[in-house]
Amino acid sequence: MFRKLFNSELNRPSAEEFRSADKLPVAVVLDNLRSQHNIGSAFRTADAFRMEKIWLCGICAVPPTPQMHKSALGAEFTVDWEYAADTLEVVSRLKSEGYTIVSVEQTENSTMLQDFRPEAGRRYAFVFGNEVSGVDQRVADASDMCLEIPQQGTKHSLNVSVATGIVLWHVFRALCQ
């Protein structure tokens, strides 16, 4: 028998406990996402896996908005975030702070997700791109590596919120074992 658990049985931290808890040394950089639902989903995923911060860049909306809240369910208030107009400037800043910049994009010489082994003690910034055009080419060029999620269907890509969940789960699993 599989009785569903009540939220009160999940032993989740309070918002205050979450804010003061240790985070994985991982930043999420959203490069010109247009959908507030996708942005909210990134917040919720970053909360689930205790990511350090989200950078909202370019045309990304910033919290709080009702549309974002529908998918974030309050994670927009627990996950640290910052807005910057230019994704490339954020990438440069994060590089100077010691982050390994990883664009999630289909490129020549990209690394397949299953071959990517995040290393404990390293700081990572994962860049997720616009729903139509992906990661800006200048940002991909400035990255230390590009990561690709293998696919075998007829579509060219996954929804950015799905890709964010897949990649962050992979990183969480590797760094928390």
In a domain, 115, yes or no: yes
Flag whether 12 is in a domain: no
Q: Report the sign of the C-alpha dihedral through residues 120, 118, 173, 47, in that order.
A: positive
101 lies in some domain = yes
Examine residue 116 and state whether it is found in any structural domain, yes or no. yes
| Within a domain: 6 | no
Instruction: Please give the structure tokens belonging to residue 49.
Output: 């896996």
Q: Say how far apart CA 135 and CA 160 lie, in whole Å.
A: 11
Distance CA 167, CA 171 (A): 6
In a domain, 119, yes or no: yes
> What is the reported pTM?
0.97
CATH number, position 117:
3.40.1280.10
Burial status of residue 118 (CB atoms within 10 A of its CB: 0-12, 13-18, 19 or more)? middle
What's the pLDDT score for residue 177?
75
What are the tens digits of pLDDT across the range 28-72? 999 999 999 999 999 999 999 999 999 999 999 999 999 999 999
Tens of pLDDT along 106-140? 999 999 999 999 999 999 999 999 999 999 999 99
Question: Is residue 5, in this structure, part of any structural domain at all?
Answer: no
Q: How many CB atoms lie within 10 A of CB 72?
A: 26
In-domain check, residue 7 = no
State the total domains in the chain: 1
